Structure 1
Amino acid sequence: MNSNYPVMLRLEGKKVVVVGGGKVAERKVTGLLGTGARIIVISPNATDDLRELAGRGRIEWLEKSFSKQDIDGAFLIFAATNDKALNQSIKMAASDQQLVTIADDPDGSDFHVPSHIQRGRLSIAVSTGAASPTLARKIREQLEYQYDERYDAYLEFLFSARQRILNEVKDSSKKGKILAAIASEDFLNSHDREADFLRLLHYKRNDV
């Protein structure tokens, strides 16, 4: 069995086509919101939530049946209809350079969307290689409990602190020690991370 290759994709400004207007398509669209992708839904009908997103300009909904021209220039394609033959025809219509996922045919898909959680800059994905989406969901729920809402602000702190460390600390050994320190439980649970960080930064910079 060939292993899948995990990767985080930047979709900002890229065309992503979701063919289908039911609940499966709705879940795919929901996962794409916030990526900056140009999301286009192709379907004669659509759920109320998809219609609302289209009405608010969050997505484009082409109220029509699928045609090959709909995926011209698409970076990702989601074949998410309840028609197995149509899903396969969408895959056949795509070029070799386009990535397609088929809702009812994981083995025939070019990529899979894992179960995942998002805590600000922190993204954790779980995949069982299509063996058990139920288990993937269970693991995700455990991770949601372990990595709670505290991590939103904590990751923002780590991002800004890391920039300061890289710019202000020249000694590579001290730099590594400070980076390790701010990634500790102490900083996660700190009531005043900024003050603790400034003390640590001052101490390490002057430590001889």
Structure 2
Amino acid sequence: MSLIPVMVDLNRRHVVIVGGGKIATRKMKLLKETGARITIVSPSIEAALQSLQKNGDFIWKPKQFEKQDIADADVIIVATNDSEINQQVVEGAPCHALINDTEDAERGNMTFPSFFRKGRLTVSTSTGGASPSLAKMINQKLQTLFDDEQYEEYLDFLYDCRKLIKGSSLSKSEKIDFLRKLLDDEFKNKEKRRNLVETLKAKK
């Protein structure tokens, strides 16, 4: 399995989690803010999932897995403690679906890397299934590099400036120069950032 990192918008996509234990709970907590339509298929679910289900965060089908449960799924998360059922889920998946097999990553076609967010910044780390614990450790070390709250403000500044530059009357080469200039250390200063934004607004 050869994987590449991508960012996926799951808003309104149908995600089916087969399983109701600790792994299913972790995946559910990760996905519940994405806007996805989430269904959990499992005869029982643990207490943490029951609380989320009462909030309407997902639909629970209290039953054994059947192939039709994933017929219209965009993303399938295989998370039971029964290897035979996990195999059935993978084999029954529609060809268009992304499959995360938490028991055997090689059977699926997607994984969830360790990641953290800081405002607009998202940093993820994967070890290709070799050691999720190491990926988490690396991510924790990386996170210390971006703990400064000013970094979030700086990223918002970069985002706003990029929109202004792309919509300005500047030539292509001038736009490229401006985008590079934004990375200069001088723009870590709030006053410098404010002045540049005003300059760019005047160039519309």
TM-score by length of 2: 0.89
Q: Distance in 2 between matches of 1:47 and 1:184?
A: 50
1:160: Cα distance to partner? 1.8
What's the counterpart of residue 120 of structure 2? 121
How many residues align? The count is 202
1:68 is displaced (CA, Å) by: 1.4
| Overall identity of the aligned pairs, in % | 36
Change (3 A) 1:58 1:184: farther
Aligned to 1:170: 170
Cα shift at 1:61: 1.8
- Cα distance 1:104–1:199, how it changes in 2: closer, same or farther (>3 A)? same
- Within a 5 Å distance, the mapping from 1:134-149 to structure 2 comes to 134-148=133-147, 149=149
* Structure 1 alignment gaps of length 5 or more: none
- Tell me if structure 1 keeps the 8 A contact 2:161–2:197: no
Secondary structure of 2:124's counterpart equals strand
After superposition, the Cα gap between the structure-2 partners of 1:171 and 1:76, relative to the gap in structure 1 and judged at 3 Å, is same
Supply the AA of the counterpart residue of 1:49. A
Alpha carbons 2:164, 2:201 under 8 Å: kept: no
TM-score, with length taken from structure 1: 0.87
Equivalent position SS for 1:168: coil
Task: Name the CA distance, whole Å, in 2 between partners of 1:60 and 1:23.
Answer: 17
> What is residue 103 of structure 1 aligned with on the other side?
102
CA deviation string 1:99-141 (max 9, x = no partner): 2121111121111111111123221111111112121111110
How far 1:18 sits from its partner (Å)?
Answer: 0.6
Please, which moves more after superposition, 138-147 or 150-159?
Answer: 150-159
C-alpha change, 1:121 and 1:46, in structure 2 (3 Å) is same
| Deviations 1:145-193 (CA, angstroms, capped at 9, x unpaired) | 1122443333222222211111124222221222122233433x32346
Q: CA RMSD in A?
A: 2.1
User: Partners of 1:70 and 1:193 in 2: how far apart?
Assistant: 56
Q: Which position in structure 2 is the counterpart of 1:183?
A: 183
The CA deviation at 1:199 is 5.8
What amino acid is aligned across from residue 111 of structure 1 in structure 2? Answer: M
* 1:20 maps onto 2:14 in alignment: no
Aligned partners of 2:164 and 2:200 also within 8 Å: no
Q: How far did 1:95 drift? A: 2.0
Over 3 Å counting, the alpha-carbon distance change for 1:3 and 1:184 in structure 2 is: farther
- Note if contact 1:182-1:197 (Cα within 8 Å) is conserved in structure 2: no
Matched position secondary structure for 1:145:
helix
